[in-house]
Amino acid sequence: MYRTVAIILKKNDWQESSQQFIFYTKNFGKINALGRGTKKIESKLNSSLQFFCLLDLTFAKGKNFDHITGVEIVKDFKNIKMDYKKIIYTCYGLELVEKLSAFYNPEREVFDLLLDFFEFVNQPQPKIADNLNLVKNRFERKLLEIIGYQAPENISLNKQKFNIFLENYLQKDLKTKNFFKPV
């Protein structure tokens, strides 16, 4: 058994009543864990396994997957959940961390960056309305720097070149990127 604080990056259905989660943890980096029965309404874990929350999780080592045995919400970023634009920006950050980080490679700086990103986006609306795009850009650059794949300065300063650089590094498009395209 082990315990750590974490943020949900992604979740998928697993068999009939379970879900597979990808977390970014403070102590272990990105991990994969199974929540048995978490799709059931009466699951004791169900109410606390929420996106846009800082979670205190307990895991049991398993043969193929670690299993979630306990969860408690440490901080609920409620302002994110109430604003569609904030949800989009935060989901983009989650997807970027999920795609760029390696499993079981603890990077405390990545966890801290993700938590700071949540804190900023969670601020009241008038304070950040025009700054979300700027914060998103800084988050991208800082994440790449932390994982050791910083873009050269001539690329980093040009948004179009930087987007091409990021797409080439990822080798596929991010799903959330479509929400940033003009209609």
Give the pLDDT band (50/70/90) at residue 154. confident
Please, what are the domains in the chain? 2-76 (2.40.50.140), 78-180 (no CATH)
**What is the pTM (predicted TM-score) of this model?**
0.88
List the structure tokens of 97: 């961390």
Q: Distance of CA 80 to CAs 7, 89, 145, Å?
A: 14, 9, 26
User: Beta partners for 20?
Assistant: 12, 34
d(C-alpha 67, C-alpha 167), whole Å: 33
Asked whether the CA dihedral 64, 68, 74, 75 is positive or negative, the reply is positive
Q: What pLDDT does residue 126 have?
A: 57
**Is the pLDDT at 172 greater than 70, yes or no?**
no
H or E segment at 142?
helix 132-146
Q: What pLDDT does residue 149 have?
A: 80
Instruction: Please give the residue that has the higher pLDDT: either 80 or 159.
Output: 80
Q: Distance of CA 44 to CAs 9, 124, 133, Å?
A: 21, 31, 37
